[in-house]
Each structure stands twice: as C-alpha cells, then as structure tokens.
Structure 1
Amino acid sequence: MSRRWSLSNRLALLFAACTAIVSLFAGVLFSRGSEAHFVELDQQLLETQLLGVRRALQDAHGHDPQVRLEEELSRRADLALRIKDADGERWHGSIRIPPQVPERTGLSTLDDADNNYRTLSAPLYPGRPDSAQLTLLLDITHHQHFLQRMQRLIWLTVGLSALATALLGAWAARRGLRPLRRMGAIAGSVSARSLNSRLPEEHMPAELAELAHSINDMLGRLDDAFQRLSAFSADIAHELRTPLSNLLTHTQVTLTRERSLEDYREALHSNLEELQWMAQLVNDMLYLAKADHGLLALHREPLQLAEEVDLLLDFFGPLAEDANVRLGRDGESLIEGDRNMLRRALSNLLDNALRFTPADGEVRVRIVDAAQRVSVIVENSGEGIPADLLPRLFDRFYRTDPARQEGSSEHAGLGLAITRSIVRAHGGEIRCESADGWTRFLIELPKGD
C-alpha cells in the first residue's frame, strides 16, 4: 500500500504549484509585453528612417542619389537598405542585406543563422504604380538576446519561487497544523481511565475551536456514559450477589444430610422464588438496554386514559383496601400509545405510591387534557421526599430508603427507570415533585395526530 501524503506536504505542494503558475503567467505576460514594445519601437524607427530616405532622395539636386543614401544610412550602423525598380532590378543595396529578405509590403521579422532582423518594405513613391520598392533592414539581435535572457530569468524565477514557496508553505502548514497535531495527541491518549481529558479551547484557532468544543462535548458524553455503565455493572453485581449467595448456601445446607421429600420441595420452592426474581431483574435490565438504544418497538393505538387508569385502580384495589388507602381518578383524555407499555409505566407509579402511602392516606390519578399534550399526575399523601434526592429517583437501582436490604427480591430499584424509558419512548417527559405532604409524579405525553 502506497504511503499517503501528509496534509502539510499537500499544502506545500499546492502553494508551490500556485506560485509557479502565477509566476509563469506573469513572466509570459511580461515577455510578450516586452516583445510587443520592441516591435513597436522598431516599427517607429524604421518608419522614421523610411521618411528620411525619401527626403534624402528628393533633396539630391544633382548629387549622386546613392551617395546621399549612404550618408543617410551612415548614421545607423544597424540599418541596411535595398531598393529595386519597378522591373525588380536591384538599383541600390547594402552588402549586409541577406538574400532571403521578404518582398511583401509591411513589417516582418527575419531570422538567419547568426542574426535577427526587422524589415519594413514600402513603395519609394507612394501612389505611383511604377514606383521602386524600398526595403529597410534593422538588426535586432541584441533585442532577441535580451528577450532570451529574460525568458531564462523567468524560468529561474519560477523555479526558485516554487521551491521557496514550497519550503515556506511546508513550514507555515506545519506551524498552522500544530494545534491539530496537539488535538490528535490528546485524543490518542484518551482511554477508559482518562476520559476526563479535554482539549484546550482557549488557544485554538477559530476554525478548530468549534471542533475542539464538539470533541470535548463528545468526551463528556462518553465519560458520563462510561460512569453510568460502570455504576450499572457495579449495581448489577451488588444486586445479584446476595441472592446467588443465598441460593448457594441454601442448596449446600439442604444437601448436608438426607431430608424428606417435603423438605426438598420447600427448598426448591424457596430457590424458585429467588430465581424468578433474578430472571425478572435480568429481563428489566435487557428492557432498559433496549430503551437506551432506541429499540423499543411501540404499537400505537388510540387509548382512553380514563379506562386504562380505572382498570389499574381496580387491580390495585384489594391491596389498597388492605392498607386502608383510598384510590381515585379525575379527568380523561384520548391519546395514541402502546397499551402494554403505558400500563406498565402507570402500574410502577401506582405500586410505588401505595408502598409509601401511610394508613388512611390517599392515592390519586389526575388526567389533564391540553391542546397539544396530556398530563397524567400520580400523587400520594404521606412523608415527602427531600429535594436533594428528587433528581436521583429515576436512576437505576436507586432506593430512597437507606436501610434497604441488599439483594431483596422485591423492588430492585428499576421501576422508575423503566417508567422514564417508556415515557420517553412515547416522546414525553416525567418528573417528580414533593411538597406539602404530597408526592407527585407528572407525566407529559403528546396527543399525537
């Protein structure tokens, strides 16, 4: 597998390529502009010399025209002249004129083995059909040498600029990406034992500060989830340790000697109760795990909350009668939800309320129908819950009674956690309030379409 280029190298190469392209483009423009400027200067010079030659011939006044022409041309060592009559016969010509000078009228450029020339051809007497043809030749070899040196300088400048930009770009990229490498080092050091590590946001560039903030939030969520998972695992071990120990001890004691069939049956029945509680605990934990991952499949259907609550009150009626607790319900509403899940959530709340309601107390269920949401309030009279404990009521395995028995086969502390998961699966929220001798669990559910 080929080695991937680093981001610094890519940026450096990109900087070098951009600089080379810009430098080359500027150099080509400068070279073309210089060449056009020289052509313009040469044309002006040749046209001026053309007028001088015509004026010299007109002012000959009996003198030999060729002598006048030689005098005119002697002022410019880089200039040569050729004149042909209307029949194409050469009438005058400098010895430096090469034979391949073009005959066409106008400005042109001629290159031979050693020199470069600019030529200008025009009629000696404009407007006369029998006029001789005059050709001026200007040596521009020094111009071409200058342009060639300039082109070499341009290529050298392009190469050096690209190299310098690549080096400076690599340095700037590595310096600019230093915060990113620092982020990578910190992220690479994060493990289950160091989830409290955070990226420094204060000295980060603006482009990376938001990323660092997002990563810190992610690390915070991972840390919180890991702490919850660790606590959950510890609570599971705590809850299962005592019943497993009881099962082992009871079974060992039963097997120490021969017993009657009735004694064995009683021992198995006792073990069965512990196993049933453990199975229920495992099922509840699996249920919560599915809820945490959004895997609770809701079977939504129209529900009359008043009917559902009345059925549950009838079910808990004998238990309330034995405890001398009054049950009541107010209000009604129609919602869409999963019947079995909502019954389980309300059953957990009613069971919890009955356990903490003293004799001659009261448990009420109030249904408040609003425009978009429905509130279900399960409240009971009795001793209140301290305000500092209210946020922890929905934690798994949490019990408000500090004197609870470890591994008790009743009320493992998952009921309220399951209730919250069911409510949230329906798109609602639940909270608890405790004041003035009443404890209230308030459920808010959307009414649906």
Structure 2
Amino acid sequence: MMRRLSLASRVGLLFAACTAGVSLLAGVLFSRASEAHFVELDRQLLEGKLQVFAELLQGVDSPAALAARRPQLQLELDRHPDLALRIEGADGQAWFTSQPLLAGLPASPEQLRTWRSGTTDFRALSTPLDHGNRLTLLVDITHHQHFLARMQRLIWLTVGLSALATALLGAWAARRGLAPLRRMAEVTRAVSASSLTARLTDQQVPAELAELSEALNAMLARLEDAFARLSAFSADIAHELRTPLSNLLTQTQVILSQPRGLEDYREALHSNLEELQHLAQMVNDMLLLAKAEHGLLPTRRESLALGEELQALADYFAPLAEDRAVTLSVAGTAHLRADRGLLRRALSNLLDNALRFTPAGGEVLLTVETKPQGVCLTVANQGAEIPAAQLPRLFDRFFRADPARREGQAEHAGLGLAITRSIVRAHGGEIRCESAAGWTRFILEFPTAHA
C-alpha cells in the first residue's frame, strides 16, 4: 500500500504548486507583454519608414520611372539593413524587391502581419501608392523571436527551479513549524496507565496549538482522575466484599468443624442469608450505577406533586424519627415530571442519612420550591458539619465521611449517595451538598424543562 504523504510534504508540495503557478502566470504575462511591445515597436518603425519610402516614390507610374529613384531607395535601405522592400504595380506584378526571397511574398492588406520565408521571420505592412501601385515594407524580426524563445526557456527554468526550491524550503519550514506536534505525539505516545501524570508544556507552543495542548492536558487530567477513581473503586469494592465473604467463610467453617444440632445449622443459615442479601443488594446497586453511567437507566416519567411525595416519605420515616427524637417536617410544593420509584429511592437515601446523623432533639427539613431555573428540593439536617475537603467526594462510590463507620455497617455500603446522584442526573438535574452553621443540606436542582 502506498505510504501516505506527511503533512510537511503536503505543505511543501502545496507551496511548490502555488509558486510554480504564480511564476508561470507571471512569465506568461511578461512574455505576452514583451511580444506586444516588440509588435508595437515594429509597427511604429514600419509606419515611419513607409511614409519615407512613399514620399520617395511619389509620382512613380512605371518601372522606368522607378529605376530613376532606385539609388535613393537603396541609400535608405542601406541605413536600415533589417528592412526589406517590395513594390508592386497596379496589375500586381513586382517592380522591385530588395531581397530575392521576397518574390514569394503574398499580397498584403494594409495591416500588420507576420510572414516566414525559410528560417527568417518578417513583420510586413503595406500602403497604396499613386496610380494603384502598392508598397510593402518588411522588418526582420528573427532576433525578436530568438529573444522571446530564450525568455520562454528561462521562464520554464525559473518555474522549475523556484518550484523545487519552494518545495524544499516549504517542507523544511513546515517540519520546523510542526515540531510542537511531534513533541505532543512523543508525550502522548509515552502515556500509559503508569504514567498518567505526563503533561504537555505550554512553552514554545504556537497559538494555533495552544488550545489543542490545553485540551490534551485536560484529557490527561481526566484520565488520571478516572484511573485514580477506578483504582480506589477496585480497592473499595474488594474491601467491601471481603468482609461479608470472610464472615460467610468463617461462620461456615466453624459450623462444619464438628457435628451440631439442627437449631445451630438453622441459625447459621439465617446469618449467612443476611450476608448474602447484603452482597446481592451491593451487586444490584453497582449494576444500577453502571446503567446510569451509560445512560441505560430506564425512567417512566409522570407528573408528580412533590409536596405530596415528600409528605409520604416523611410519614414512612416518622416512626424512625420518633425513635431517635428527631423532628421531621415538610414545606413547599411544586410539580416535576419524574420516575416516582427512582425519585423516592433517591430521597429515601438522603432522608435515611439525615436521620442517622442528626443528634437527638435535632431537626430534619424537607423543602421544595419552584425557581425561575427549575425545581429545587432540599434535604437538610442539624448535626456535625462535614469538612469542606470531603464535600466533593461525598458522591463517590464507597466513600464515607467518617472512616470509623467503614467497619460494622453492613447495611450501608457507601453507595447510597452515588445512586442518588445517578438518579438525579438521569432526570437531567444536579445535586450538591452544603455544610455550615450546624446544618448539612443536600440540594437537588431540576431544570425547567423537567418541571
């Protein structure tokens, strides 16, 4: 397969083609202008000399009368050796020719024309004389033709040399100009899973490539962040799965280590069932997150009265709130087109977290309001503030703000907030967290188009 031309070669060939075209056009125009200039000079010379010879031949009406004027004609011709003269009578017969080769000269109209005899080129012009005679004057233009031929050869040589020189210089300049691209290629070629920290330097980068350099650096930063998150996710999921699996293995080995009663086996199976249910829930949650990230989360939209939905959730969680001595209240109303089941799941995750981290005697507020940009839902609770450094990571998988809670909390795998964010984004919204002045607020914003 033919190798594709490099960009530098293409630029060089383009420069060469442009230079050759411009040089050729300029050469042709100069050649035409030179030819027209010579034609005009010949016209002026012939017209001036025709007038002189016409005055010398005034009153000549026969070859005999012409013979008396021949010395004067010859004297004038000797002054201009490049001129040739032919005199014809009214019957078209040649009375006088200054050169034998003019015998074959055809009748000439009264306009400038070119005539070739052998290897000699002439430019001829005729004028009528007295008594119907005709005078034809010719000038040898062979030297003109030779000059034009040499000039055309020079033009072609110049076009070829200039095209070659421009191709080489263009390729060199393009190669120098594309050096930043080669450096970019070297950096990106060196990027791997173990070297995602590599970045393109902005120094000596042309303005045209600055935006590309910034885009590549941003892409590398995103890849580095995504790879770090993936590595952390792999470690987290291994940690989360290790505990229940270890519990299952340990308890099963203990039960099987010696014969036991039926009640012991039944109790062990119930314990294993709880661990298996926890594992199944974790796998289902991860599948839901995977679908949401790839836009495959199905949503059955319907118009929902959010005030009623929040009140229904508050009624459901009221017993838990009473047990923990937490006040649970709902305020506001709005309408939103959303999937009822998914939205309730997202709000339930937030409300469950709020109740768990609200101290006794605290308050949890569920509010909804319509704003110009859309619908805003807020789940706020009193309690310890979340450090600002941890707020951006709250919605990461398996992330817990309190590391002490990582162990012994089988029912909370750290996927709730990640699932909530996926559900909100599946509805075209966004979620963020604010924690200050003893309150933590999770704010869900949905655009007007979904209201």
TM, length-normalised to structure 2? 0.93
CA distance in 2 between counterparts of 1:386 and 1:76 reads 109
1:405 Cα shift?
A: 4.3
Correspondence for 1:267: 268
In structure 1, runs of 5+ residues without a counterpart are none
> What is the identity, as a one-letter code, of the residue corresponding to 2:153?
R
Query: Contact 1:331–1:368 (CA<8 Å) still a contact in 2?
Result: yes
Correspondence 1:32 to 2:16: no
Pairs aligned (count): 445
Correspondence for 2:442: 441
1:30 Cα shift?
A: 0.9
In structure 2, runs of 5+ residues without a counterpart are none
Query: Contact 1:238–1:406 (CA<8 Å) still a contact in 2?
Result: no
> Per the alignment, in what secondary structure is the counterpart of residue 143 of structure 2?
helix
Correspondence for 2:47: 47
Matches within 5 A, 1:15-94: 15-58=15-58, 64-94=68-98
CA distance in 2 between counterparts of 1:107 and 1:32 reads 17
Correspondence for 1:190: 191
1:281 Cα shift?
A: 0.9
Correspondence for 1:255: 256
CA deviations 1:204-259 (Å, max 9, x no partner) are 11111111111111111121111111111111111111111111122222222222
1:283 Cα shift?
A: 1.4
Correspondence for 2:218: 217
Query: Contact 1:109–1:119 (CA<8 Å) still a contact in 2?
Result: yes
Correspondence for 1:348: 349
1:433 Cα shift?
A: 3.0
Correspondence for 2:390: 389
> What is the identity, as a one-letter code, of the residue corresponding to 2:138?
L
1:92 Cα shift?
A: 1.5
Query: Contact 1:80–1:96 (CA<8 Å) still a contact in 2?
Result: no
Change (3 A) 1:48 1:440: closer
1:382 Cα shift?
A: 3.3
CA distance in 1 between counterparts of 2:291 and 2:267 reads 36
Query: Contact 2:375–2:445 (CA<8 Å) still a contact in 1?
Result: yes
Query: Contact 1:195–1:219 (CA<8 Å) still a contact in 2?
Result: yes
Change (3 A) 1:372 1:181: closer
CA distance in 2 between counterparts of 1:327 and 1:385 reads 21
> What is the identity, as a one-letter code, of the residue corresponding to 1:296?
L
CA distance in 2 between counterparts of 1:354 and 1:110 reads 113
Correspondence for 2:143: 142
1:346 Cα shift?
A: 1.0
- Superposition CA RMSD, Å: 2.1
CA distance in 2 between counterparts of 1:232 and 1:371 reads 38
CA deviations 1:123-160 (Å, max 9, x no partner) are 123xxxx4211111211111111111111111111111
CA distance in 2 between counterparts of 1:180 and 1:117 reads 62
CA distance in 1 between counterparts of 2:422 and 2:180 reads 41
> What is the identity, as a one-letter code, of the residue corresponding to 1:353?
A
Change (3 A) 1:38 1:390: closer
> What is the identity, as a one-letter code, of the residue corresponding to 1:8?
A
Query: Contact 2:400–2:406 (CA<8 Å) still a contact in 1?
Result: no
Correspondence for 1:284: 285
Correspondence 1:113 to 2:118: yes
CA deviations 1:301-358 (Å, max 9, x no partner) are 1111122122212222222233233322222222221111110111111111121223
1:374 Cα shift?
A: 2.7
